[in-house]
Amino acid sequence: MKLPAWRAWLVLAVLLTSFAALIARAGYLQGIHNDFLKQKGESRYGRLIEISAHRGMVRDRNNEPLAISTPVEAVWANPTDIALNPRQMGRLAQLLGINPAELQKRLTADPRREFVYLKRQLPPDEAAKVVELGLPGIYLTREYRRYYPAGEVMAHVIGFTGVDDNGQEGMELAYQDWLAGKPGSRKVIKDRLGRIIEDVESVRVPQEGQDLVLSIDSKIQYSAYRELKSALAATQAKAGGVVVLDAKTGEVLALVNLPAYNPNNRERLDRERNRNRAVTDLFEPGSTLKPFTAAAALEIGAFKPDTLIQTAPGTMTIGSATIHDAHPHGLLSVAQVIQKSSNVGAAKIALGIPKEALWKVLTQAGFGHPPELGFPGEAAGKLRPPRDWRPIENATLAYGHGISVSLVQLARAYTLFTGDGELRPVSLVKRSEPPPGTPVVSPGTAREIRRMLEMVVAPGGTAGLAQVQGYRVAGKTGTAHKLEGGRYASHRYVASFVGFAPASDPRLVIAVMIDEPSAGQYYGGLVAAPVFSAIMGSALRLLGVAPDKPGDVALPVALEAGAKEEV
In this predicted model, which residue has the larger pLDDT, 464 or 143?
464
Q: How far apart are CA 532 and CA 513, in angstroms?
A: 10
Q: What is the pLDDT of residue 192?
A: 55
Question: Domain 218-263+279-562 carries which CATH code?
Answer: 3.40.710.10
Report the 10 Å Cβ neighbour count for 31: 8
- pLDDT reading at 194 higher than 60: no
pLDDT per residue as tens digits for the range 407-426: 999 999 999 999 999 999 99
Q: Is 159 helix (H, G, I), strand (E, B) or coil?
A: coil
- pLDDT for 536 equals 97
Of the chain, the percentage scoring pLDDT greater than 90 comes to: 59
- Model pLDDT for residues 205-258, shown as the tens digit of each residue: 778 889 999 999 999 999 999 999 999 999 999 999 999 999 999 999 999 999
pLDDT of residue 46: 56
Beta bridge partners of 190: 196
Pair 373, 252: CB distance under 8 Å: yes
Which of the two residues, 119 and 192, has the higher pLDDT score? 119
Domain range annotation of the chain: 48-213, 218-263+279-562
What are the tens digits of pLDDT across the range 524-561? 999 999 999 999 999 999 999 999 887 665 555 444 44
**Of 79-88, 162-171, 354-363, highest mean pLDDT:** 354-363
Give the DSSP H/E element, type plus range, for residue 275.
Answer: none
- CA dist 351 and 394 (Å) reads 7
Average of per-residue pLDDT values in the chain: 87
**Separation between Cα atoms, residue 324 and residue 565, nearest integer Å:** 11
What is 418-450 written as a DSSP string? Answer: HTTTEEPPPBSB--SSPPPPEE-S-HHHHHHHH
Give pLDDT tens digits for 28-73.
767 776 666 666 665 555 566 666 678 999 999 999 999 998 888 8
Q: Do 419 and 384 touch, CB atoms closer than 8 A? A: no
Position 198 scores a pLDDT of 52
Task: Write the pLDDT tens digit of every residue in 506-525.
Answer: 999 999 999 999 988 899 99
N residues, the chain = 567
465 pLDDT higher than 50: yes
Query: What is the pLDDT, as a whole number, of residue 421?
Result: 95
Q: Given this model, what pLDDT does residue 37 score?
A: 60
What would the DSSP string read from start to end of 44-95?
A: HHEEEEEEPPPPPPEE-TT--EEEEEEEEEEEEE-GGG----HHHHHHHHHH
Decide if 463 contacts 497 (C-beta within 8 A). yes
CA distance 55 to 74: 17
Contact 535, 250 (CB under 8 A): no
Residue 310 has what pLDDT? Answer: 95
Residues forming the active site: 287
Rounded average pLDDT over 493-506? 96
Kindly calculate the radius of gyration of the chain based on its CA atoms and give it in whole angstroms.
34
User: In the predicted model, is pLDDT for residue 485 greater than 90?
Assistant: no
Nearest to 507 by CA among 481, 476, 471: 471
pLDDT in tens, 293-331: 999 999 999 999 999 999 999 999 998 889 998 888 899
Per CATH, is 48-213 categorized as 3.40.30.10?
Answer: no
Kindly indicate the confidence band of residue 370, based on its pLDDT and cuts at 50, 70 and 90.
Answer: very high
Better pLDDT: 149 or 15: 149
What is the per-residue pLDDT for 558? 46
Of 22 and 442, more confident: 442
488 φ, ψ (degrees, to nearest 5): -80, 125
Distances (CA, A) of 129 to 72, 140, 141, 245, 417: 13, 11, 15, 50, 63
- What pLDDT score does 425 carry? 96
